[in-house]
A and B are shown apart, each in its own frame.
Chain A
Amino acid sequence: MDKAKEALRQKQSQAPIIQLKGVTKRFGAVTAVDHIDLDIYPGELFCLLGGSGSGKSTLLRMLSGFETPSEGQIIIDGVDMAGVEPYERPVNMMFQSYALFPHMTVFDNVAYGLRRMKFSKAEVHAQVAELLHMVQLDDYAKRKPHQLSGGQRQRVALARALARRPKLLLLDEPLGALDKKLREETQFELVKIQEQSGVTFVVVTHDQEEAMTLADRIGVMDRGRIVQIGEPRDIYEYPGSRFVADFIGSVNLFDCSIGEEGEDFTILDSEDLKGSIRVGHGISGAPGSDVSYAIRPEKIALNRDSENADNEFSGIIEDVAYMGNWSLYRVRLDCGCILKVSQANLKRQDQTNLTWDDRVFASWSDTAGVVLPS
């Protein structure tokens, strides 16, 4: 077991800091959040990942107190939050637009939350200085928000939200407004600050890459429900449903039915592929029942000659997209269906030199794919 997993186990051995019990939110006839049960542990960095309309933002707004659940209970650090106003909750939020007060300086923005508590002037001063130091904005205290760059604004928003030492920090698409380069730097920065401060973070995002790099655990949301909770690697490698497999990363999906079963393998018969797939483990499910088979593009190898692999299908390369560090191939298999295959460009000169209209064999091992309920 690696170090990260060990740390996570330790966090989860404590009592949960947030408990959601059957939380539901309806807007008129629309159910935005549908009976969610969820425990989040102290010190965790939890990501809610979902598309627009999946209910992730509504869930966040219920935690911060801007929306009240239609049903269910939200318990934060043992206290039921029903009827507790946003300004009375031990929760702070970093808004997607940052929502910095445009008429106040950086210092006053960060101090705003502290001044609502009973702190002396000197204490406020000291704490703001410390926070600005943490986000490396020591020299910007007197600036107004419009005099800052996007990345600097984001850091002010983070410092402001952490000022009251909340038990829980909510972050709504924290990196959404930054450009790609800045995002990558900021991701690691954010994780570092989270670890330093020890505050529990709940991040809402629609960006799977962001979720993958930030989170201890990810909750994937779809139509108001959490469809899978797990660590980033597990969610990617062992998706629990077609939706999760398809939503996170790129995937080839085939409809199959369970065929011959052996001691340590199963054969799936695929109508799509006009052939069969060998899976290197047993499957719970009666022979003949329908399942889906998911295989990630990077798990497939392309060769000019047959390798006699566990699973091998021949076809013709229809399209190649060169992406720099890797290339994406669209292979038209003999059965007529399309297979997405990605290959890392490890060398400058690609020996195989596969290109349009080349006849190839696509192969993968019997442990590379995942069998999902159809």
Chain B
Amino acid sequence: MKRLALPLMAFMGFAFLYLPIVSLIIYSFNESKLVTVWGGFSTKWYVELFKDPQILGAAKISLQIGVISATLAVVLGTLAAFVLVRFRRFRGKTLLTGMITAPLVMPEVITGLSLLLLFVALESTLGWPQGRDMMTIIIAHTTFCMAYVAVVVQSRLIDMDPSIEEAALDLGASPLRVFFDVILPTIAPALVSGWLLAFTLSLDDLVIASFVSGPGSSTLPMVIFSKVRLGVSPDVNALATLMVLVVAIGIFLAARLMRPSHTEVNE
């Protein structure tokens, strides 16, 4: 009995994490519009989902924003991580450290509000950006995603033995070559997971996008939010199921790709 207590508590924790997702998947195949009633198996909500131009349009916008801001965030976040880990003290290092970690804990409403006010102020003084559209969302997402990328890349860089870089320098490679020959291959897995993380965060963000989006640039979470505020809608269940499926496949592929193809030789 005593030995079962811990696994049981852990199991309940996992059940708590997964029951809602399972319920979404089950009810996405429900014929009936009501959650209460099981009206038989049906895929009609999937058909409906693919006929909804609003959702399809928003999904397209969200994917575009996600890809662009994740890519920008990886470039900027990697530079920041590199500077923080590998450069010796310079003026402004503390400031940079603060600015790169703060977005991680910043409430989204504040980030969203402050960026919107910035865009408005810039527009009225410089005339740029004109109105708000996908670009303003991309800027906002890049800014908060680069912090996450920086954290991921930073931990990888810290784990990296600095003498490996020195070895390359010692063998006649210029600093630029060292970056491409040694550093980049070593941090590549971190870049991939950083990109995926940034992409997911961007795709998932409702609050910040709501502040900085313009009339023609509603993202997928914004459309979902306006739908579910009015109550349960089964086509959203279908959408959720598809997203779970995509994520599951993605994780499966990533796990297969990243699985080391070797076994360590014992000394």
**A interface list, Cβ under 8 A from B:** 64-66, 85-88, 91-93, 95-97, 99-103, 112-113, 116-117, 144, 146-151, 160-161, 163-164
B164 touches A150 (CB 8 A): no
A93–B170 contact, CB under 8 A? yes
A146 to B262, CA, bound (A): 9
Interface size class of B (residues with CB under 8 A): 20 to 34
Residues in B whose Cβ lies below 8 Å from that of A64: 166, 170
B264 touches A112 (CB 8 A): no
Is B169 a contact partner of A86 (Cβ separation < 8 A)?
yes
Nearest B residue to A170 via CB reads B170
The reply on B52 being an interface residue by CB < 8 A is no
Q: Are B163 and A96 in contact (CB under 8 A)?
A: yes
Total of A-B residue pairs, C-beta within 8 Å:
75
Neighbouring B residues of A97 by C-beta, 8 Å: 161, 163
Contact (Cβ within 8 A) B262 A87: no
Q: Bound state CA distance, A271 and B8, in angstroms?
A: 74
Encoded as 1 (CB less than 8 Å from any A CB) or 0, chain B from 178 to 222 comes to: 000110011000000000000000000000000000000000000
Beta-carbon contact of A116 and B172 below 8 Å: yes
The answer to whether the Cβ of B36 comes within 8 Å of any Cβ in the partner chain is: no
User: For the complex, would chain B's binding face be called helix, strand, loop or mixed by DSSP majority?
Assistant: helix
Chain A contact surface mostly: loop
Besides the contacts A151-B267, A161-B170, A163-B171, what 19 more A-B pairs have beta carbons closer than 8 Å? A65-B169, A65-B170, A85-B169, A86-B170, A91-B170, A92-B171, A93-B167, A93-B170, A95-B166, A99-B163, A99-B166, A101-B181, A112-B168, A112-B171, A112-B181, A113-B171, A146-B264, A147-B265, A149-B267
- Closest Cβ of chain B: how far from A292's Cβ, in Å? 40
Verify B164–A101 contact, CB threshold 8 A.
yes
B174 within 8 A of A: yes
Give complex CA distance A296, B155 in Å.
Answer: 51
- The contact sample of 12 A-B pairs, CB cut-off 8 A, is A85-B169, A91-B170, A92-B171, A93-B167, A95-B166, A99-B161, A99-B167, A103-B185, A112-B181, A147-B264, A147-B265, A160-B171
